Amino acid sequence: MKHIFVIDDEKNIRDILQKYLHNEGYKVTLFSEGKYVVDEMQRLSPDLIVLDIMMPEMDGIEVCREIRKRSDIPIIFVSARDAELDRIIGLELGGDDYLTKPFSPRELVARIKNIFKRMEPKRTIENTVLGNVSLNTVMRQVIVEDTELKFTSKEYDLFEFLFQHPKQPFTREQMLEKIWGYDYTGDGRLIDDLVKRLRKKLADSHSTITITTVWGYGYRLDD
């Protein structure tokens, strides 16, 4: 049974989400504020976090920063702030998805299922090597020589997609649809930000592969 933390200061939202998630077979722990979440993560080991941004005392942005110091657990932001910049900031911090209030609980459930589906081990073990980089799709591991790189869920998804199609260029729209698993209508800057973060991690690890900009089109992975 997957365990989900729901952190939101609005009781009606907590109650509605608890009902829907329980009906889907998930275990749910509710929080009305963020300051105890990190400690409870160590104790209860959740599989995914639904995190409101606008909360008193410790907002969702601060909570996300603290979580990312310790874990790459999937995080779905929910917020009444619907500006594109807010979504980009949330994803820059390591969020895996972003829903604007008011939202359909069914849509949230669908996005949660999509994240869990993408995290499922492949049926057969796949170890692929390109340059000095090894990819294990069962363990969702990226290793440069002897060092494992730490990726968020979405960083890994994009890297795996590009890694399995070396030298093949993709548009931002193609990557958005592939990585988010549905017809995502977000700004292509979300992909730009993921690529920027991946490039830094690859460069810092002295990887022999890089993500190349295809001007006027998108990106490709080169060795």
pLDDT mean across residues, the chain: 86
Same domain assignment for residues 99 and 41: yes
Q: How far apart are CA 219 and CA 173, in angstroms?
A: 11
Q: Looking at the structure, do residues 24 and 68 belong to the same domain, yes or no?
A: yes
Residues 39 and 99 in one domain: yes
Mean pLDDT confidence for 178-185? 64
Q: How confident is the model at residue 183 (pLDDT cuts 50, 70, 90)?
A: low
Domain co-membership, 210 together with 157: yes
Q: Which among 70, 96, 119 is the end of a domain?
A: 119
CATH number at residue 146: 1.10.10.10
For helices 84-92 and 60-68, give the axis angle rounded to 10 degrees: 20
Give the model confidence (pLDDT) of 20-50 as tens digits.
999 999 999 999 988 889 889 989 999 999 9
Query: Domain count of the chain?
Result: 2
Residues 31 and 113 in one domain: yes
Q: Indicate if 175 and 73 belong to the same structural domain.
A: no
> Which of 78, 97, 119 corresponds to the end of one domain?
119
Backbone angles phi, psi at 4, to 5 degrees: -120, 130
CB 76 within 8 A of CB 49: yes
Domain span including residue 42 = 3-119
Strands 218-222 and 210-214: antiparallel
d(CA 135, CA 127): 6
Clarify whether residues 34 and 97 are in a common domain: yes
Q: Determine contact, residues 96/112, Cβ cutoff 8 Å.
A: no
> Are 83 and 167 within one domain?
no
Task: For the chain, give the percent of residues with pLDDT over 70.
Answer: 92
pLDDT per residue over 66-109, tens digit each?
898 888 899 999 888 766 666 777 777 778 888 888 888 999 99
Q: Which two tokens stand for residue 207?
A: 């990887």
Residue where one domain finishes, among candidates 89, 119, 149: 119
On the question of pLDDT at 182 being above 60, the answer is: no
Overall pTM > 0.75 = no
Residues 11 and 89 in one domain: yes
